[in-house]
Every structure is written in structure tokens, then in C-alpha cells.
Structure 1
Amino acid sequence: MSSPAVPLFRFGIIADPQYAPIVPHVAMDRQYANSLAKVAEAVEVFNSWELSFVMTLGDVIDRSFSSFDDILPIYDRLRHEALFLLGNHDFSVSAAHLAEVAARLRMPSPYYSFSRHGWRFIVLDGNDVSIFAPPEDHPHRVLAAEMLAELQEKGAANAHRWNGALSDGQFAWLGDEIAKAAAAGEKVIVMNHYPVYPAGEHGMWDSERVVALLASQSHVVAYLNGHDHVGNYGKAGACHFVNFKGVVDTENQNAFAIVEVYADRIEIRGFGREDSRTLVY
């Protein structure tokens, strides 16, 4: 039997624009100001395709709440729905603005789900337990400091201040969403800023429990993330884990993708530095 030639639907992906009106970080090859032009180029390409939505996988800005005023109007040029999730750099703002970040990105809440064409998209907030996103003195910030100290003592590769974890409440919600999708006959794609697999220095602090959950559910097809700007790929159980490359890196090369969902596979069509991949399910 031949494979279907027409996708069920398509969506766009951008990761880590990390825009700021500042000079480049030459050693890391991060060209913060150039992200305005790169996102504009991606928007132009996306507008030439029929897409269900465009998701940015976190780190819209590098620092300063006012940077949202420069980059978000570029997303307004999209003829598609622009969706966002929260990255660590999105919280590199003054304490007074911490509670406003999700609303500024027009998100319904810090983590949420939505359905398209019989698929459920589960959008996580990997900054839920972190030392930078919760308000000062919030129990999640206290818990984050404890988790980080414990990981540092073990010499864990991901024991970094710029990573985070899901709260137990959000992890339970993730399990509920996956169960509801199964009951509704929906396949699942999970999206988050942070990688969880393969393990590495950019991984969420509680990656192991997330991977164990996703890999045990046959209807969970893919987990899409940013954060590690060089990109990565792995597979655990039936779930494909795809780390998209960062827009902010390099002076001129862009990195974004169009994801085409078929009845038997997902085709990732990479643009610029982004890799093209076929994920069979």
C-alpha cells in the first residue's frame, strides 16, 4: 500500500530568536539583533504555505521586557495563528514583569493544550520550577534551589541555573492530558522549551520522569523543543524527540521548519540550518 501523498495538516516551528538590540556575543556566535530580520524572513515563508499555526518554542527575547515590543509586531504579519511557549530567557526581565510574560505572549496560561485535526498538542512550561521564573519567595523557587543543589552535588550534566523542571501539579496535568487524548482517539505532540531526551546539559531537571511517561504511551508521537541551539534528535519508546536549532545563532543563516503531519509519518522540512527529518509512527 502506497504512503499517502497529501499531509493531514502542516504547522510552522521557530526556536530561540532570543532577540535583543545589543552587540553580538562573538564567542557563542549569537547575533541577537539579527533575529528581527530572521523572524521576518520565516514569517514570509510561512505565509506562502497553508499552515494550521506557527509555534515558537521559547526564548522570543534575550533580555528586557521592552524587547517584546520590537519582535512581537513581526509575528502580527503572519496570516496564521501565532502560538508561544515560555523559555528561560523570556524571564530575563525585571521582577516586576515576571508575572506578565505569559500574557505579553498572548498565551492562555503558562501551560495549555489544544486540538487540531484529531491531534492533541500539549504545551509545557519547563520554567515552572526554576530559580528565575516564579515570583520571589514562591515555593517553586525554593524547591528549584533545592533541586539544583542536589543535582550539583551529584555532578549532573544538567545542573545549571538556566534549566528548570515541571511542578508535580503540571506533571499530573500532563498525564491527564495524555489520558484524555487516548480516550478521544487523538495522537499527541508535546512541546516545551527544554529537551528531555537524549540526556545532556540543557535537559530539564526532571527529564527522566517525563521521558518515562511519554515513552510508555504509544499514541504520544513526538516531543518538540528548543533551548539547545545546536539541535538534537533521539527516540525513546515510540516517541520521537526533536530539538530544533536556534534562530539567534550565526550572522546570516536562519533556522526554522515546516512540520507536515501524514497518516503514517511526520515530515520536518528544515529551512536554513534546520535539518529535514522523517519521523515514522
Structure 2
Amino acid sequence: MNRRSIIKSGGLLAAASLLTPAMKSAAAPAAKRKPALTVAHITDVHICAEENAPERFIKCLAAVKKQGVDFILNGGDSIMDASYDNVPREQVTKLWGIWDRCIETIRPFEVHSCLGNHDMWWKAPSKEDNMYGKPYVVKRLNIPARYYSFTKKGWHFIILDGNNEHISLDAEQFSWLENDLQQLAPGTPTLVMSHFPILGVTPTLVGGGHSDHVKLKNLFYKHKDKVKICLSGHNHLSDNAVYNGIRYCCNGAMSGFWWGAGDKDSAGKGYYFETPPGYAILRLYEDGQVENEYIPHDY
């Protein structure tokens, strides 16, 4: 498989620009305070049978557990790919079966997921097929809906679905997001996760960001007392940017170069450009402060 083509097929532009991964957040760590929550952000696992990926992913999950996390946020592209025209039903079923077996190794840890562009099987025989599109992925990921929110220990979490025209929120979802933020008490610290970057450096380098980023930025500014951090994946690059006091973190990819060794532009084995495979650990404090640490792995 031409792994670089996976990024291109997601609407990104090939790029050879330089990027130094932001391995740790720019925010000064709170001095020995205990966070309200410690959360892992894994994204772009792209699980497959090849490259010994299942065994390697299981080792990554074991390492995540050792970080003492309360739960895991999964940023999408959980399976290698169901979205290409030539992917048969048996392959989609096989990939989700591998995903299930890997995730079972960390039960009873909670995993809150969003939809990635490679997770949906659009080439089912008909739209009435029970494996067609988003509802099947929602079921396989055991999430309540394609977009949803929940609250834990004072922090609010919003999970978005950017898998719509031009990478954006549909009108129904945007209205829901406006209402969800409006209903929160003033000052409620909030984390937003989308598969695709909303703002940041990586969309400038390789594309793939939300086309409605200005609309979202304006909404988040209206609720700047609440929205503290936006997480993404998709671009397989590590990026840490701050705008209007809100942190935007694209946290690399668990699979790095799709579990492969890399290519001529890879800075190291398994790297996508200068970003190694890895995951992020977030420490969320009662006062809304956030630490986002990107942790490379060599499994």
C-alpha cells in the first residue's frame, strides 16, 4: 500500500515543509498540583493486520494505562481504511474485529471516540445496508452518536463530526454545538475534539483542516471562558498552537507512518515528516489550565 496516498486521499496536499513537533505544551506546568483528570488522546491508529500492528498497538495501550489515565479519547481513523472504493465488506469486518480485540485488552477503561474519515464504508451495496456510512461506525465504536458531549469531574467534553462537505460541521450539528456551549455554566472548562484540525500549524503545512474554522473560532471566542483546548489528529503531525487563549493541539498519530518504516521525508523510523508515532497525555485542572504532552513510542 502507498501509505502517503492515504493522507492525499483525505484531501491533503503533499508537503515537504519542516515542522518541529511540540512534544510538550507551551504552558508552564502547574507546580505539583493534582489534576482533576488525566486523559490520554490517541488518534489515527489505522489498525491493520500487516506490519505487526495489532501487537504493537496493544503494547501502546499498555503504556497508556501506565500513565494513570482516567479514560481515553480516540480521535478517529481507528481502522486502516474502509473509505476506498475497492474495499470489500470482509475487509471492513476484519479490521473492526482487530480493533475490538485490541481495545478489549484495556477494559474496563472508557474510550470516547470520534469518527475519522477512513472509518466509514461508503461503498456498501446500498444506503440501507447496515454497514453503510456513519451509523455502523457509531455502533462499532460504542459511542452515543456521531457527535455528542459529556461531563466528568467539572470538565465538559465535546466530540464533533467533521466528516461533512469540505470538512465542516453540518447545520444541525453547529446549532447543537451552539446550544451545548450556551447551556454550560459560565467558566465551565471545556475540551473539544474533532478528527480534523480546527486551527493550527499543520493545516498550513499539509491541509486537511476544518473549512469552517472561522465560524468555529468566532463561536469559541464567544465562549472563551469555557473552551480551553481543541484536540485533533488526521494530519499525523504534532502541533501546539494558541489563539485567543485557546490551545489547539494536533497530536500526531499512534500509527506514525501508518505502522510502516517511513519514506525519504521521514526524520526517523516510523516518522511522518518530523513527527514520530505517539500519543498525548493531558492533565486537566479544576481552574481550566491544561497540559498537553506528546509522548513518542517506538513499538
Compute the TM-score of the two structures, normalised by the length of structure 1. 0.75
Question: How far apart in 1 are the matches of 2:190 and 2:40?
Answer: 17
Equivalent of 1:10, from 38, 53, 65?
A: 38
> Matches of residues 93-172 of structure 1 in structure 2 within 5 Å?
94-95=123-124, 96=129, 97=131, 98=133, 99-127=135-163, 129=164, 144=165, 164-172=167-175
Question: How far apart in 2 are the matches of 1:34 and 1:269?
Answer: 26
Report deviation, 1:82: 1.5
Asked whether 1:173 is paired with 2:176, we answer: yes
CA RMSD after TM alignment: 2.2
Equivalent of 2:189, from 183, 187, 190?
A: 187
Report deviation, 1:51: 2.2
Question: How far apart in 2 are the matches of 1:244 and 1:20?
Answer: 20
How many residue pairs end up in the alignment? 229
Aligned to 1:234: 241
Query: Residues 77-103 of structure 1, C-alpha deviation per residue, up to 9 Å, x if partnerless?
Result: 114112211000001453242231111
Cα 1:273/1:77, change in 2 over 3 Å: closer
Amino acid at match of 2:251: F
> Matches of residues 1-281 of structure 1 in structure 2 within 5 Å?
3=31, 5-22=33-50, 33-64=51-82, 65-66=92-93, 67-78=95-106, 79-92=108-121, 94-95=123-124, 96=129, 97=131, 98=133, 99-127=135-163, 129=164, 144=165, 164-183=167-186, 185-198=187-200, 199-200=203-204, 201-218=207-224, 219-250=226-257, 251=261, 254-264=277-287, 265-272=289-296
Percent identity over the alignment is 24
Question: Gapped runs of 5+ residues in structure 1?
Answer: 23-32, 130-143, 149-163, 275-281
**Higher RCO (CA 8 Å, separation ≥ 6 residues):** 2
Compute the TM-score of the two structures, normalised by the length of structure 2. 0.70
Q: Secondary structure at the match of 1:214?
A: helix
Amino acid at match of 1:110: R
Query: Residues 51-72 of structure 1, C-alpha deviation per residue, up to 9 Å, x if partnerless?
Result: 2210110000122422010122
Aligned to 1:159: none
Question: Gapped runs of 5+ residues in structure 2?
Answer: 1-29, 83-91, 262-269, 271-275
1:181/1:188 contact within 8 Å kept: no
Question: How far apart in 2 are the matches of 1:34 and 1:233?
Answer: 30
1:12/1:54 contact within 8 Å kept: yes
Question: How far apart in 1 are the matches of 2:294 and 2:240?
Answer: 14
Amino acid at match of 1:262: Y
Query: Residues 103-122 of structure 1, C-alpha deviation per residue, up to 9 Å, x if partnerless?
Result: 11111110000101111100
1:38/1:254 contact within 8 Å kept: no
Greater CA drift, 259-268 or 58-67: 259-268
Runs of 4+ in structure 1 deviating by more than 3 angstroms, as ranges, are 250-254
Report deviation, 1:37: 3.0
